[in-house]
Amino acid sequence: LVQQTAFSASGPINPDIKKDVDKVVDSVSLNDLDGKKQVSYCRCWRSATFPLCNGAHVAHNKASGDNVGPLLVKASE
Ligand code: FES
């Protein structure tokens, strides 16, 4: 069973990140937290610090009516 999702043919989700590669893939090791309590990863494709969130989703949501936000990876306590 394949779950269907809404699809818009209005254009690419990714406006300009790593357009020189066929597929943008990033991997994260939990060791990458490097002492931080949490790291925020972008899911809106608008961050200038992609794959990290820089808060650009706020302007994107306001302009588009979207509701996207980051993936928060938290260190274990
Ligand atoms: Fe993309 Fe925050 S900047 S989710």
pLDDT at residue 44 greater than cutoff 60: yes
Domain boundaries, the chain: 33-74
pLDDT value for 8 = 55
- CATH class belonging to 33-74: alpha beta
The number of angstroms, rounded, from the C-alpha of 12 to the middle of its chain's C-alpha atoms is 14
Give, for ligand 1, the residue of 42, 49, 71 to mutate: max count of ligand atoms closer than 8 Å to Cβ: 42
pLDDT, greater one: 47 or 30: 47
51 CB less than 6 Å from ligand 1?
Answer: no
Average pLDDT over residues 27-47: 87
Helical segments of 12-70, H only = 56-64
Q: What is the pLDDT of residues 29-38, one digit of tens each?
A: 777 687 889 9
In this structure, are residues 71 and 40 in contact, taking their beta carbons and an 8 Å threshold? yes
* Count of other CB atoms within 10 angstroms of residue 61: 15
Tell me what ipTM this predicted complex has.
0.99
| % residues pLDDT > 90 (the chain) | 58
Amino acid letter, 76: S
CB of 70 sitting under 6 A from ligand 1: yes
Q: Is 42 in the pocket of ligand 1 (CB under 6 A)?
A: yes
